[in-house]
């Protein structure tokens, strides 16, 4: 994408953010609806807290998009990078219990979220570096 226009980059970032948003929603919905089946989650965690966390995380991405579309690329890209970084938090499930303790659906929802977050983070950071170079 060396010769890509700003419009092309924005389209790619928006598409990756949408993909991550959907993957994240799938993971959080699965987590909320099957909370009791996820191994070793803290007892204070509730369905409503899982959904509230998703809304808070997603707000960061929406704010990043608003900044970028409002011509504030650097703060928007920083917010997109932060938004994407939240996607790696799903790997914390494996700090609580091994992969084998999770169902295939759990592992798939975690894996899709992490993969989408990684793609968004890579492109957001690459775009940020382009904006910061003199």
**Helices (H), strands (E): how many in the chain?**
5, 0
For residue 76, the tally of other CB atoms under 10 A from its CB is: 24
State the pTM of this model. 0.91
What's the mean per-residue pLDDT of the chain?
93
Question: What was the pLDDT predicted at 4?
Answer: 60
Question: What was the pLDDT predicted at 2?
Answer: 44
Q: What angle do CA 60, 118, 7 make, to 5 degrees?
A: 70
Per-residue pLDDT at 42 exceeds 80: yes
Q: What angle do CA 93, 21, 73 make, to 5 degrees?
A: 115
Per-residue pLDDT at 134 exceeds 80: no
Phi and psi (nearest 5°) for 103?
-75, 160
Closest CA to 81 of 95, 69, 65: 65
Per-residue pLDDT at 1 exceeds 60: no
């Amino acid at each position: 994408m060396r010769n890509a226009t700003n419009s092309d980059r924005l389209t790619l970032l928006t598409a990756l953010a949408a993909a991550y948003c959907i993957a994240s929603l799938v993971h959080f919905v699965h987590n909320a609806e099957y909370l009791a089946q996820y191994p070793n989650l803290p007892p204070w965690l509730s369905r409503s807290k899982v959904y509230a966390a998703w809304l808070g995380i997603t707000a960061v991405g929406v704010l990043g998009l608003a900044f970028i579309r409002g011509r504030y690329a650097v703060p928007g890209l920083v917010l997109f990078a932060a938004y994407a970084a939240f996607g790696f938090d799903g790997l914390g499930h494996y700090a609580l219990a091994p992969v084998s303790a999770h169902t295939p659906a759990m592992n798939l929802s975690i894996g899709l979220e992490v993969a989408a977050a990684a793609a968004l983070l890579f492109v957001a950071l690459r775009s940020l570096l382009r904006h910061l170079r003199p």
